[in-house]
Structure formats: structure tokens, C-alpha cells
Chain A
């Protein structure tokens, strides 16, 4: 019986580690929940306004784990596909979103600038910003 309890406990502990990280897209502005397609369009600069608010999308740096997850789950594009995309957008006069060095800097920017949106780990959420999209890795 003791052995069974130990196995269950170990499995529960392991399952905690195995739980997928949850990430969130946050803003300080009066923006309602976004669809995945709207979010994708904003980060690809196909869309620049939501509810008459000019949106400023923020990225984390290229090698950041959350950014890689965002590219995979939201943009559904590989780094080489994104590179191709932004080359053509350069010719069409569009720039990629600005990159920030940390989740803290994203939170600070989002709090101060109307229309700014950015993605962070859900554990870093506080009551100064609100969530407009969630996804799990």
C-alpha cells in the first residue's frame, strides 16, 4: 500500500513539471478579447487598429522561448518563413513589431503606452494589465 501511495505521489509531482506553460497576451488599453486570427494579423502588420485604437504589438527577442511558442502557435510560421515574410513587407513599406529584451520591459511598455500589446508568461500577470488572449505551449 505504501509503495502505491509513493508511486501516486511521484506521478503527481512529475505531472506538475510536465504541465504546459501558459502564456498570455496583455494590454492596458480598452481592448476586448482578440481572436487568434486578429492577433496574427496584428503581429504581421496586416491590421493596425482594434476598436479604433492604434495597436503597437511587441515581441520578445528572437531566441526567447515565449516568442518561439508565439510564432509556432499564433503566427504558425517558422523563422525562415517569417524572414521571407518581412523581406516582402519591407518592399511594401511595413516594419516588423519592436522587440523587447524581457517580459518586465513588455509589461512596463504596455502599462505606459496606449494600444501596446505584448505576450508574457501567465505567472507574471498582475492587476495593472489585463489578458486579451491565452495559449498553452
Chain B
């Protein structure tokens, strides 16, 4: 806990030293090509059987660029404090380890090509690109972003981009090694090869991702503790995969987005299979977001998926409301109506970007 206080003490004193600082902008350190920022998130979740309080996602960002090089690092307390209350019992978990969420160096060759080495967020679909609460539309993530592909990749990344009247981009991901700090990656893997093609014109963007990864025995859960795979009753806000078998998995994800000043429509549909058969025949969502004012947003998301590994199928609707007094501060509320009423849940969160 001392480390947390020291880290944020340093950040706050830097922010106070910069008179032109605005919340959410980050701060430059001593005219160096080095910017600091961070974010925090707290959440409350209520279901019929459990209440959960969580202080997670306390993170510091550092980044900068010089000539053709740029770099980014993000260190994070993932689940600093989690309390689950169930049947008059309370279970508290503290994970005070700092994790490396991202760590990479980019080299831009020219207007078309760039390469990256390190640990990065897998550039798959739209939702996965901004995985932190304060930047997401809702507190919860769509299931399709959690069960189809590895959320982060450690290795090489390269892209080709062409801007003319439209924007065309190709992403290539290559991992052939262990993850850097892979505890909170949704899949534990040491091999991931992915390809993405995206096309944007005016306010429309379309994207196709395909890939292969091998799933090692995974041990991840959303609270940082090891639980048996069978004990997980739902997908929660972070998917937990646990299996003792190594599996070769193949995925495909199709994504589409339309955005204007008032509305945003987002849809992703994914499919995953192994060499032995189907694992996720489909996982999809359609989301509409309406900005009533720059501060108030209403969200409706419809989701459906079938998971053969867990033998589970669900259709559900999420009604969300987000209030941003300033854009980098988000108060969010959502209610999920599931096929089985016992899975219904209320989620509230507060998050800030520095």
C-alpha cells in the first residue's frame, strides 16, 4: 500500500507543478520526451447471490517519442482490494503486486509502415483497444471481447496504413514466447499469430481479425485468486479460463462501427474453434450509444453467445447510463437482464483518467 501512496504522491506533485495541466491530459516531465498519466477505477456489483466491492485498475502510464521511436509503459495494481459478500460471509482479497500491463517500443519507418516490440493490447476489434473502465462505454465488457482471442500479446507487431480518401490498415501480431506478466491476460499463451484488416470511410469503420493461439493451462480469475474453472458461475466482467489441457485455438472476429457527434453504433461477432471442434460457435453484441449532452450518455447493448467449453448459452440486454462531469471522470450505472434471472446484475463504477 505504501508503494501506491508513493507512486500517486509523485504523480500528484507533478500535476500540481504544471499550471497548464488539465485532467486527463497527462503531464510532461521536465521538458523531456516523457509524459506521465494514470487512472483509477472502483466498482460495485450486485447480483441475487452476491455483492462485490472492488478497487482495481490503479495504474500509471509513461510514454514519449523521439524521431522515429516511441515507447509506452503501463504498470498497474489490478485488484488492490476486492470484497465479496455472500450469505452473511465476507471474503476479502488484496493483490498488492504491481503488474506490467503494457511495455513496448515502436519504430515508424515511413507513412505506411511501423513495427512494435514488447507487450501490447491485441489490436483486435474495437472494444479491446480501450480496455480501461474510464474510457469504456460501460463498466462491463462484452463477452465476445473476453472469450474469443487473447486480450494482450507479447512479441512483435507490425502495421501497414494507407490514407487517401479512405483509411486502410493491416495489423500483424506475432507471439512465440511467454507473456510478460501474463497473470491477467484472459488466456495464458506462448504463441499467438494474428492478422487484422480494417477499412474506414467517413464515419464508418469495418474490421476483420483472424488468428491462432495456443492456450496453455490458465489460472486467471478476476480477483487475482486461483479458482477452479467449474466454480465460475458466470462470465463476470473479466472472463476466466481454466483448463489443464494445452489447446490450439483459431478465432475470427468481424467488427463494424458508425459514429457521429450524437450516436455511436458498435457491433462485433466472433467465433472460435479448436483442432478438436467448436469451442465458441458465436459470441456477438450490438450496442447503441446516445449522447444526450457531452456529459450524459445512454447505452443499450444486446449480447448473445454460446460457449461449448462451459456448455453455456445466454442472451442478454444491458441498459447503461454514464455521467461525465468532465470527460476524464466517469460515473456509470448499468443493469443486465439475462436469460436466467439469477444472472441479472447491477453494476456501478467510478473512474478517473489523469
Q: How many angstroms between the C-alpha atoms of A37 and B327 in the bound complex? A: 26
Interfacial chain B residues near A88, Cβ < 8 Å: 130, 135
Q: How many angstroms between the C-alpha atoms of A90 and B61 in the bound complex? A: 9
Point out the residue from B37, B67, B166 that lies within 8 Å of A91, measured CB to CB: B37
Asked if B261 and A54 sit within 8 Å, CB to CB, the answer is: no
Asked if B294 and A80 sit within 8 Å, CB to CB, the answer is: yes
Please give me the 9 A-B residue pairs with the lowest Cβ-Cβ distance, nearest first. A93-B63, A93-B72, A80-B294, A49-B111, A41-B163, A87-B24, A49-B110, A90-B26, A38-B163
B89 at interface by CB-CB < 8 Å: no
Give the contact-size bracket for chain B.
Answer: 20 to 34
Point out the residue from A35, A46, A50, A87 that lies within 8 Å of B327, measured CB to CB: A87
Interfacial chain A residues near B25, Cβ < 8 Å: 86, 90
- Known A-B contacts A78-B261, A87-B327, A88-B135; the reply to A54 vs B68 at CB < 8 A is yes
Q: Which residue of chain A has the shortest Cβ distance to B71 in the bound complex?
A: A93
Expressed in whole angstroms, the minimum distance between the Cβ of A58 and any Cβ of chain B is 16
Residues of A within 8 A of B (CB): 35, 37-38, 41, 46-52, 54, 78, 80-81, 83-84, 86-88, 90-93, 95
Interfacial chain A residues near B31, Cβ < 8 Å: none
B86 at interface by CB-CB < 8 Å: no
Near A by CB (< 8 A), chain B positions 195-231 give none
Expressed in whole angstroms, the minimum distance between the Cβ of A52 and any Cβ of chain B is 5
Point out the residue from B110, B135, B166, B167 that lies within 8 Å of A87, measured CB to CB: B135
Near A by CB (< 8 A), chain B positions 163-209 give 163-167
Asked if B327 and A81 sit within 8 Å, CB to CB, the answer is: no
Q: Which residue of chain B has the shortest Cβ distance to A77 in the bound complex?
A: B261
- Known A-B contacts A37-B164, A37-B167, A90-B24; the reply to A49 vs B328 at CB < 8 A is no
B108 at interface by CB-CB < 8 Å: yes
Interfacial chain A residues near B158, Cβ < 8 Å: none
Interfacial chain B residues near A37, Cβ < 8 Å: 163-167
Asked if B164 and A35 sit within 8 Å, CB to CB, the answer is: yes
Q: Mark B60-80, 1 if CB is under 8 A from A, else 0.
A: 010111011011100000000
11 contacts between A and B (CB under 8 A): A35-B163, A37-B165, A47-B161, A49-B111, A52-B111, A90-B61, A91-B39, A91-B132, A93-B35, A93-B71, A95-B26
B55 at interface by CB-CB < 8 Å: no
B353 at interface by CB-CB < 8 Å: yes
Near A by CB (< 8 A), chain B positions 106-134 give 108, 110-111, 129-130, 132
Interfacial chain A residues near B129, Cβ < 8 Å: 92
With A46-B167, A48-B111, A90-B25 known, 17 other A-B pairs at CB within 8 A are: A46-B161, A46-B163, A47-B163, A49-B110, A49-B111, A50-B111, A54-B67, A80-B327, A84-B327, A87-B24, A87-B327, A87-B328, A87-B353, A88-B135, A91-B37, A91-B130, A93-B71
